[in-house]
Structure 1
Amino acid sequence: MLILLAIVPLVFTQKITTEENCKLKENCGAHYLGPRVRQLRSIGGKRAVRNEFPWIVGYFIEKHGLPKPEGTTKALVGGCSGVQISKRHIVTAAHCVVTYDRQECKNEKIPKEQRKASYTVDKACFITIFIGSGELKPTPEKPTTYSVKNITVHKDYNPCSVTEDIAVIEVTPDISHEHGSPICMLNKDEEEPDDFTAVGFGSDPASHPQGHDILYYLQYVNLNGPRYKKHRIVLFDKTKSICGGDSGGPLTQTRNDKRYTLLGVTIAADPTCSIKSPKRSVLCLFGIQNFHFSEKKERISRRVLLCGVDLRYNR
């Protein structure tokens, strides 16, 4: 049975063909875009090198309709990560690409589990996107080859909860193999692993001097010891965590053939990462999300894990 990399009920403007899907399965999940080079370490994890994790994506968003930073007249700018799953599709966290009133989620008159908030999807023209890890430290001022064509948010996404927090970004033109390559998708019968690798352009709390960059250098952190619960996987670690800018970035596992497989995207961590409290336990929540991949209307249920942190606006 052929499984296409199309997510239902997310609707792509331009779906992947059967031929494209076959090529994806043959060439997905590479660790490096080119020859492997020496790695550099950083606090809590490791700093990636140029062209490592070629399926990673970083992007900036001008946020309109939110309070502006004090002393500035410019729009608020947020930064997030994502992961390439085809030559034109990026998976990321929904909360990265929507704007909503956070006060709607704090209405104490409504039980917490029943709270909902309306949202608007951010306009594609407000996003600056960087494909692959050829640029290890992207900034909004640097030139980029690609632009966003369409953004699709999961139809059941609710900003007041961590469920269905996923979206797909469609880019144009098609991504060149010289800039990036897609990650592999989880096979139907694969079991959840005990060891995970989270990748993203998260901030580094140990950097000196500490800057105010929204996206820091591309880094990765290895996490393990999951506790499986209903609709959740919980991870605890006293020394490592994902950080600001990692939101939307991939949670991965490595297959026996050393290729990387997508398990989910970064959403929330508690408490937020900080070098000031190195001995505290960092809790990561992993929701179990059902994706549906289809060809000829056949539906196949997949479990995808979600984890992460939301520090994009220092809120």
Structure 2
Amino acid sequence: MKTPTWVHQIWENPPDPVVFFFPVMADVNMRKFETKLLVISLAFFASLFVFCASYFVSYTFVTFRSRLRPKEKVFWCLSFVRALFGLVSTFIGFWYIAFDDTLQKDVVNGNSQTSFLAVYIAVGFFIFECTALFSSIAMFGGFDAFLVAHHTLSLLGFGTVAYCETTHFFSVVGMLLEMTTPFSCLCWMFLKAGMAHLPIWKINQILLVHLFHCRTTIEGYFYYKLYMQWENVHHHMPRPIFWMLVVQLTLQFFILTPYWTYKKMGQLFNPVDWNHPELQKNKSDSKNGVTDVTGSSPKKSKSKKGLKKEN
């Protein structure tokens, strides 16, 4: 079977994805403040829309309606937003690391219409994410230091890149690290739905652990690119971006990714919700042997005494 001509053309000379699908974007000035504000705002409100829509859709599920506490319902809806952002980020990051070397040739000044758009979308998403995260902490308590550090630094990093209009390579290709997010969200939702004993959950968990190893490889590749283009980085990369990149890359490579890989590997053999340890009741589901972390079982009714303690 002969490969179509357009496939060869895209392979030999990869187009800018945004311009390829939306030719009108070729003439848009992505450096204008109004453009930045518009895209960031659209990304924020799109995230908010998906969050609200997922709540109404999920309310038709028994698991969501009757087995989840308010804090877990917020986390459930956030999972939809994070998964969607993860899919978009994976496509963009993979495109620029596998096909288009526009950003790799110059890790400081390389850019494209798509890279500008990706950075602004990421800023809007992380504004929403940090707003939701800190609101949840204020309302329900609990504090995941690693998650807070990761999202706060991501917002500061993408925000600084959007302001300085440079260093798109590490930002856009770095979005590929979000490839674990959809699988992580599915892992948690399957767990809450009591599906951790099914093959689909185990397959998803194995893929998730493997992708965390891939994340480590990409983070190591960033160190390699810093080394190979050190003169360019040293003389042209803005100092605030450089130090935020070094801090976040070091945090990710040596602490966060290994920690999350370890936790997800452990979760494969012991399916518990370590995202909300304060909600765990250490009760076992007699049907499938999975720890019931919601504190509610459809087969057992709580005593009045138990209800008073919970309240």
What TM-score comes out, normalization by structure 2 length? Answer: 0.27
User: Between Structure 1 and Structure 2, which shows a larger proportion of strand residues?
Assistant: 1
What TM-score comes out, normalization by structure 1 length? Answer: 0.26
